[in-house]
A and B are shown apart, each in its own frame.
Chain A
Amino acid sequence: MKLQLLFVLLFFSLMGCTWYNQDSTGSLKVNFVHTFQDSTLQILESNQLIYTTTTGNKFNIKNLKYYIAKLTLYQNNGAKYDVNMVKLINPMELNTNYQNYTLANIPNGKYSKISFVFGVDSARNTFPFGLPNNSENNSMEWPFTLGGGYHFMMMEGVFQNTKNDTVGYAIHLGVTPNQFYNEFPIDLTVNGNDQSIDMQVNMEQWFNGINKINLNDGFGYMMEDQQKQLLFKQNGVGVFTLK
């Protein structure tokens, strides 16, 4: 009987640790929800042209991957919380872990702002292996010859050019100056619970933002063309919206 009592005490003392943590921290999963003109984004394997830019390009998206870095929550008193992580978002993956960024162990409290960096933060955008040396990060590398680091975004597909041929485009952003910062007001109370929010990623904005992109203007070779990358960086500011 004494032994059983000891087990019971041990069980509750162990559970107590867990309960304490659950009480003092929570988590927030930010789901990146990709849309095009308010419909769910379709990433195609075929050459079917299902989207149109305001400049009249019929096009599709066949490949999309990008990095989000340093997702951070802020309290009104200036306190902030982040996990100093860089996350590859890959909507083509069936595994939904590639479509969200989760902050765990957030101290309880009220948070009024959320921010993140689009791309890889400069401290980790380095050669070689600023990010963990694994298959997914290595597939995003930006060549040493072009400055090193990582592609912040790869978006590829095909479009109909002025000769009515279906040809490729490749929006590749990289190099530290092309990161950009996003912040949104948020009304979030963390109280030991797990929560999730949706971040809408309006893909149309990449093409139809401040800069109206015409894919006939040579968006196949832009890794060495800062002016072309800048057009997308400027458009990117309006891509993300907190729902």
Chain B
Amino acid sequence: MMKRFAIIGILLLTAVLIMQACVEQTPTPDDTYDFQTPAYFPKIVSPTNNPLTKSGVSLGRMLFYDPILSQDSTISCSSCHNIANAFAEDKKYSVGVGGATGDVNAMAIINLAWQQKFFWNGRATSLEEQALGPINNPLEMHETSENVAAKLSRSKRYAPLFKQAFGSATVTPEMIGKAISQFERIIVSNQSTYDKFYEIQEQAFTAEEYAGFRIFFTERGQCFHCHGANGTLLAHNLDTIFRNNGLLTDQEMIGKGLSFVTKKSSDDGKFKVPTLRNIELTGPYMHDGRFATLAELMDFYSSGIKQNANLDINFTKSPERLEQYGGLGLTSTEKQQVIAFLKTLTDTAFTHNPAYQNPFKK
């Protein structure tokens, strides 16, 4: 009888261990990546099947900078996500394999560990999924993730690194997505002037910056309603939201933005609210890169809003202002003050962080 109990027990234990292995991947203690963020940042929720590891992050960093991901080995992730531009691009649209041109502006890669939906229209619901998107996009890397997996499996450089990070030298698209997303997850900006606000409040700013801060965080500017009060969304962009900020007319916005995913007309023209961290470095701005400078951006919010059926309530709730000014109606001094505040989000420690640099450059 006891023998039967023991056999059943062993079988159950084995089944539980097998199921655990399928669901979770536990790094060995010495390979665990020590991901440190300031106390005022929320905890991140890493997927249990892709915990941060030193080997995974290191491999992801190599893949991020390696054009092997593209069809003709000319385009890497870093081609369009340049660290000097806070992992955005200084072009309106990115140029892909064979000179193909996309139709959206490359988004900055900053503090993605706190985000849940990716791309301007939110079509990727995990960073792992996002990481494979450009590989398979004919306007970008024009490859297939299966082909890249085969190339990497044959690579003397990469096969052992995948074996070390994920336990197999036979590379799969899933492993590529996991590695790249691990690197993207550790890219964090937290050393701007704005970050000092959490220690010393308004003393962090000059008079002009603080005046801009006040416009940003009061109903004069309304910016905080989308970009976050007290700066937590602004700093971390942890709650992915989609808004229609009046870039497009009713006709222009059909099928664009979140509605591309949801197929709801009420989501037409709603785009992901981007982080404003390092905004000084991430221009041109908006999903289509239509504004080259922060001054153009402020002019738009002040007097360039296009009215449409889905225009965000934060604009339509003041119809008088919208009718009179075509936007917030900021004075030129107020615009300058907001720009001065936005520049406090510049984090040069981020753009010079050795852990984010190209590992192939000596």
Residues of A at the B interface (CB closer than 8 Å) are 3-4, 45-47, 62-63, 127-129, 133-136, 138-139, 141-146, 148, 156-158, 161, 163, 165-170, 219-221, 223-224
Please tell me which one of the listed residues B40, B236, B267 contacts residue A128 in the complex, with CB atoms under 8 A apart: B40
Q: Can you sample 14 A-B contacts with CB below 8 Å? A: A135-B42, A135-B239, A138-B228, A138-B238, A139-B239, A141-B228, A141-B232, A142-B229, A144-B217, A144-B229, A145-B213, A158-B316, A168-B317, A170-B313
The answer to whether residues A221 and B318 also contact, given A129-B40, A134-B42 and a CB cut-off of 8 A, is yes
Q: Give the distance in Å from the alpha carbon of A176 to the alpha carbon of B218 in the complex.
A: 18
For B228, list chain A residues within 8 Å (CB). 138-139, 141
For B198, list chain A residues within 8 Å (CB). 128
Interface residues of B in 250-268 (CB under 8 A from A): 264, 266-267
Q: Give the distance in Å from the alpha carbon of A168 to the alpha carbon of B166 in the complex.
A: 51
Q: Give the distance in Å from the alpha carbon of A139 to the alpha carbon of B114 in the complex.
A: 13
- Is B158 interfacial (CB-CB < 8 Å)? no
Chain B residue with minimal CB distance to A132?
B42
The answer to whether residues A135 and B238 also contact, given A3-B2, A45-B266 and a CB cut-off of 8 A, is yes
Please tell me which one of the listed residues B218, B314, B316 contacts residue A143 in the complex, with CB atoms under 8 A apart: B218
Inter-subunit contact A158/B319 (CB<8 Å): no
Q: Give the distance in Å from the alpha carbon of A34 to the alpha carbon of B228 in the complex.
A: 27
Number of interface residues of B (CB under 8 A): 36
For B317, list chain A residues within 8 Å (CB). 167-170, 219-221
Given A138-B239, A161-B319, 18 more contacts at CB 8 Å?
A: A3-B2, A46-B266, A133-B43, A135-B239, A138-B238, A141-B228, A141-B229, A142-B229, A143-B217, A144-B229, A145-B213, A145-B214, A167-B316, A168-B315, A168-B316, A219-B317, A220-B317, A221-B219
Residues of B at the A interface (CB closer than 8 Å) are 1-2, 40-43, 114, 198, 201, 213-214, 217-219, 224, 228-230, 232-233, 236, 238-239, 241, 264, 266-267, 309, 312-319
Nearest first, the 10 A-B pairs at minimum CB distance are: A220-B317, A168-B313, A141-B229, A168-B317, A168-B316, A143-B217, A138-B232, A45-B266, A145-B217, A167-B319
Inter-subunit contact A146/B319 (CB<8 Å): no
For B40, list chain A residues within 8 Å (CB). 128-129, 133
Give, as a whole number of angstroms, the nearest-CB distance from A131 to chain B. 11
For B309, list chain A residues within 8 Å (CB). 47
Inter-subunit contact A62/B313 (CB<8 Å): yes
Of A3, A135, A142, the most chain B CB neighbours within 10 A belong to: A135
Give, as a whole number of angstroms, the nearest-CB distance from B320 to chain A. 9
